[in-house]
Structure 1
Amino acid sequence: MATTSKEIENFDDLLTCTICLETFKVPKYLPCLHTFCETCIDTYIVSSTKKDNTSEGFKCPVCRMFVPFKGTHEDPQAWASKLPRNHFVTSMLDKRAIQRSEKICNSCHVKNKTKEAVSWCTTCEEGFCGQCEEYHKSFKITSKHTVINVQNIQSDQSGFQITGALSCEDHADKIVEVFCVDHSKPCCTLCATLTHRKCENVISIQNAAIDIKQSSQTTELVRKLKENGKGINEIVQNQTQTFESIQTEYENILQDISKLKERAIENLNKIENQIKFELSSSKKQVDLKLTDDIDKFSNYKSIVNNWERMLLGTIRGGSDQQCLLEVNKIGLKFTALEEEMNEAVKRIKYVSFRFVPSDQMTKLTSSTGSLGSFKIHEQCLERTSTSGTLLNKSVNFRTGVIKIVRTIAADNLGQVSAIFVRDYVITARNNIKTVEKYSIDGNFLASLAIECDPTDVTHVNQSQVAISSVQGKVLIVDGTDLKLLQSLNLQDTSVYGLCFVDNDQFIVACLSTLTWISSSSGKKIKEMQTSGSSFFVSTSDKEGCICGDGGHSVSHIVGQTRSFTYSSLQLSSPRGIGIDFEGNIYIAGFTSKNIHQITNDGKLIRVIPSATLGVQSPWTIRFHHITNQFLVTCYASGKVLLCEID
């Protein structure tokens, strides 16, 4: 199928050098598949090797992957010329130039003349004016080349790709002509002769590329790239939030220190600077580690996103042969990168600060030797204390068996909502007006009495939660120390469930109304009417939310528009809505006594009877954001169950 001008425009980011920010001139690509102008990467290589005082290689300007040149006899000034040319990008540039009527005759250009190209040779990859085209056809060696009229390309009437040339990775001056099935390796004739002459299954590149765009191999690789891109983005966001939380905790500790200082005797002034220095030094060390994590996974994200764009660009705008080359190239590199990422994930830890005043400080005696101590709390991201698995590829959320790990709380009747906060569980109990904190093992840790009737709890950041109340209030609570930080009074706004969105807003839900409010002032921003049963609301992504939308339905809402509505007579009185880290949606059917699991575009996956979880009337569902564990609460019994999907 011909690629339209509009489609070519959509891939402009693939045609722009990230060093000079201009359209590629002689595009060369690195082993990580990032592409640069030859002159740009040449200048970068020379300056990089001088700066690092090394002649063994250099780091990619984008993802920082090391590109070795150890053992070569060339100077760094010659490395760029040895890099393989990106024929796919070159063909995209040529096609765009043709479609914009900007392509000039290559033969005339050599003679310092400028004439508009009227035809294109797919073999030579050159444009010709009318006179040069006649010369081209007159030579015996080029007389049988496929030549396409430029006007046909511009109007997308040509059924030909404008190039079929693919550079050999091992011999940049050679063209790929065959494919070794035994090694899944595209080869030039030199590779086939020297390296693959004993292989039994070597076929032409054209035969190997048949139906590659529609193959399960290509589809599965696109799916994996998207899936891992999402997972990496979660980690980057998580570590970024930790970085921000550390700053908040750091500032809070400084305030506590200052307050203690104000109440203490003059002797405390001498030791205040000492503990601030220690705190600052520790924070710098933590900042450096978190920054390294963020940079590392941002680089992974850049690599995966680039590979996805390259593969999608090849599928939409490249030839079958190019697609085959890209699939094999990216597939092999992705497997190695995936292993590297999994190892890196195992080393990531949650980090938080704690400040504990000393006994002497508490007594405010003049003999106090220090203000107190602070601790850096770290928790491995790889597994939680109950073996919940991070990014475990063996977990199939759509078909996996659901089992009960333990009951967190079961002593109180009535409405209860629950949520994970770091390695704890926070519950909001309506009948006794309390917020409670439990360990993952189910042990009660602390409680906070509040004046209103809590109905729902949601995250604000990694350590803070928000509690909604039917009295028209939203309470901001520190989930670590379980203390009230702020109370928002919402005038003329009905509140039951709530969720927090990225742009510092809450969405509160009640009956048939969704209301967006400011998270700092409680001021109403906008509202939207639903078809009812909108007691709870969850954020599905940065743009949208999901809520009950009638007695048998839930809707995904973006702005003021429903992107999809899921309806079923087997679903009655939809209440809590949970979302796992793959994007699958879980709806608590309060009176239908079941849980409906649907895809992120509203298609039914399965209906789970709540009795299998020991729950009579499911009320709320909340997933851990990076494990296979989730919380289910029961309206009738007040149970909070910790479950997981194998």
Structure 2
Amino acid sequence: MSKSEKGRSKVGKSNLDDAVVKCPICSDKFTDPKSLPCLHTFCQKCLGTYIDRYTQDNDNPRPNSFPCPQCRAIAIPIDSTAAPSMWAEQLPTNGFIMNVMEIMSFENKEKTCEPCQKQNKESVRADVWCKHCRICLCKTCINYHNALFLDHETMPVDQALRQPAILTDDELRCSRHNQNMELFCLDHNTLVCSVCVALEHRRCVQVLTTEFYAKELKNTREVEKLVEQFNECLSSLEEIVNENIKQHQNLNNKKDDIKKKMKTFRGSITGHLDKLEENFNQRLTKIHKEEKDKIQSRIQDSKVTQSAIEHSRKMIQATASYGSNAQFVATVAKARENYLDFKQKAMENSAKLESIDIKFRFNPKARDIPATVMELGEIKISHGRPDAPKPIAEMKPMMDKRAVLIRDFHIRLPSDTNDCVITGGIYLPDGKVILCDFHNKTIKMFKDTGIFISKVLLTSEPFDICQVDMNTLACTLPNNREIALLNMTDESLLLQNVVFVGKVCYGVDEIRGNLVLLFPLDKPVPSMSVIEVDGHVLDTVHRRSSGKAMFENRPFHLAINQRTAEIVVTQKTVGIGEKRAVVLYSDLNVRLSIEHDSIRWARGVSIDSQDNIYICGQNSSNVMKMSSDGSDARVLLDATDGLEHPAAIHLCGDRFFLSDVGYTNRNVVKIYEMV
């Protein structure tokens, strides 16, 4: 078997697996499979339940998107204004998955004649399959069938099983022109119909029929290489997962080890304290016994004297009552002698009498332990970076890529009365570029091939624009102090509504269904507000938590990192040491100030998939690229690349559009690719 045949076997029917037709959520075979833009597919019911749960748990009361249950890529419903329970129904049905399920069903079940089955006849073996009717027929029924349908293509069932692709209805129709997409544009890597080619791909060099291109792919190692690349990527991810599992286990082991050390340390402290306490108690017991014995001795001496005195007293009383005169006189005489002894002993015992107290004073070092030792140790986390798997290591990070001009195209329309000045715009994943033409009071929509699609003429100059949901755009009209809401389809732009905000508004971007607006002329200092699409203000900031102005100069443009919700705001400034831009946390506190003097009058700003920041320097004739922490900054494009006064930039994957308000370039938009 040749290498190309081996490659085809890797991607052919022998590689079909039940996992292809099983929903990742319910693990059963798909029911009404719905596909997301990231290409993951789920049952409509499963996806609907997931979306309902996500929107109910979401902090945003009006979400307009949801993350894919598998890869977390953000998906925007076709109509986000509809109830979230309807979003799954709006998504396209995955026809390929349904075809695969049909193929597997066809391969697994016994082939019987379907017309005979409908006539309640006993199971009759089918010999022929009709591609048009998509049914199996026996030898008898095929004769009637061929007489009625002369143009239908039939083939033996065994042959159909060997060619599973013909079992499916593989015709794809263009959503814009309702034509079969039988052509493939290599320049844009997309399926197109003949009308698409005539309208939008006239300049494209390589447009092939899908039949020819499919044969070419199957006869080369390109598909095999692609599968190998996927396998390498899977292997790399497996290495990454295993490394993370290893680090997770290592983290657990380190935690247990630290806890054991702490327990041992505490045990040594406890043991030392126990020993100190034992010695202390021994000394206390000894001192206590010595003093107690002294007291007991004095008590005993006093009691002996008491007993002798009591005896003498009783003898005097007894001889006075019952004794002879001689006995009484002798007793009294003896008692007088004894009294002097007793009095002397009483005086001696009185002299020995003393008050006794036991006091204790802590060792100052021991006493201060609770107040001075607040922690038993410091916990530090050190992060290292292990070697990346080879396929990942060989991938160039966005920071190391350079910009290559793919094409440029003219944007001035015959109806325009002035040269174009593009102050803002967005580059969409489907290849559409939406531009704010300030001088001509127009929003224009082009394909990135340069094909004009549609425009909207406004009553005032548009400055910046963002996408609110799949079909809605919002642009600022600073001179009217308004926001214009536009409805966008594949072929048109329509003015939907105008919201009055009451202040001069410049930059705009979307976050979680709300708009973030810049007000550079606010008094006493510029401000930024978060508002709902209907104009209701949710939050406004003028100053930082320190009390300083949030923006030291006029803020013009902003870009929001949809992953971290951080906001990058550029400022009109040219002085040395002045802040060109600020990066704000999601709570609107300043994370980073950008002060690169190589940027003069920072204008348009955008953020790539790896959180790197791109800033247009209008007066410095350059585009700067810098890491998210600002530690690495490089000139991406400058005057040597033909830049005069770059104003607007927006990234979409590895590509971005760039506008220039210089006299030479103002009627041209350039498309670059990071390579």
Shared fold by TM > 0.5?
Answer: no
The structure richer in strand per residue is 1
